[in-house]
Structure 1
Amino acid sequence: MKPQNLNRAIVGASLLGILISTYALNVEMSIQAKPDYKAFCDITEKISCSKVLNSEYAKGFGLLPNESPLKIPNCIYGIIFYCLSIFLSTFDQLQVVRIQLLLSLCTIPMCVYLAYLLAFVLHDFCVVCVSTYIINALLTVLTFKKMKALSTKQKPC
């Protein structure tokens, strides 16, 4: 695949990530404003994004102390990551793509950690959360392919 097509795929996946993360933020804020709020992603008692987005793990990944200024909703971190991914995809320079790949790779352990919390601590299935895990994995693969395409292109014949 050409770097230009990979850029389009990265931007598309990142835009989808922004939309899903923005929806999650809306659900989280709606729950805080109105505790009896029922989100579209609340399908059953065991398939509920509201339960997850209202949990102690929904801010600062459940790792930061309450007084930390970085203890903000996880979806905001997602929105920042996806915007950064779009910005970095505008560069077709190998060094920039390596940085983008490093950032994408950093999301994988966080997704595994959050998936563990989702399944074994909260005993829930959050469609919104799992969607972002899939998007993060896809962005990692697409960025890796872009790096390979650029490194092949830059090698002398």
Structure 2
Amino acid sequence: MKLRSCNRALTAAGILGVLVSTYALYVELTAEARPGYKALCDFSEAASCSRVLTSKYSKGFGILPKHSALEIPNCIYGTLFYCLMILLATFDHPAVVTLQLLLALTSCVSSVYLAYLLAFVLKDFCIVCVSTYFINALISFLVYKKRQIIKRSIEEKKSK
């Protein structure tokens, strides 16, 4: 994989993440405003994204204090993360890519935490949530590949 292809794939994954997160925000806000709302991603009682997206874990990851300024919907954090990944994909400096990798790995850790809550606490399945977990894993993989490409390029320049 070439650096340009890697950056394009990162941008595409980031855009997909923004779209999924925006839909999650739409579902969350609509479900809160209209009780009984049934989203397209509500397949059954055990697979209801609107139930998950209106749970106490849907804001501030369920760990931030109530009424805190940071207690905002998780999908807003996701949207900010994906926009930041798109922005950082335009830089090919090793320090920026290392920051990008740390952020991507942090998103994977938060995905594992949220997946645990989804499966074992809420005992539900949310296709929108699971989609973001896969997007986060893809972004982490792509950033790792980008880091390898840049590292290899630097080593080749040094050996010449």
Which category of TM-score, normalised to the shorter sequence, fits these structures?
A: over 0.9
Structure 2 unmatched runs, 5+: none
Structure 2 matches for 1:6-155, cutoff 5 A? 6-155=6-155
Number of aligned positions between the proteins: 157
Which residue in the other structure is 2:2 paired with?
A: 2
Q: What SS does structure 2 have at the residue aligned with 1:57?
A: coil
Q: CA deviation at 1:67?
A: 2.2
RMSD: 0.6
Q: Indicate the percent of aligned positions where both proteins have the same amino acid.
A: 57
Displaced runs of 4 or more, over 3 A:
none
Amino acid in structure 1 at the alignment position of 2:17: G
What is the CA deviation profile of residues 33-71 of structure 1, one whole-angstrom value per residue up to 9, with x for unaligned ones?
101111000011111101100100000000011021000
Question: What is the CA–CA distance in structure 2 between the aligned matches of 1:58 and 1:93, rounded to whole Å?
Answer: 35
TM-score between the two structures when normalised by the length of structure 1: 0.99
Q: 2:112 & 2:35 partners in 1: Cα distance?
A: 29
CA distance in 2, matches of 1:22, 1:87: 18
Q: Partner amino acid for 2:87?
A: F
**For 2:57, what is the secondary structure of its paired residue?**
helix
Q: For 1:109 and 1:143, how far apart are their aligned partners in 2?
A: 15
**What TM-score do you get using the length of structure 2 for normalisation?**
0.97
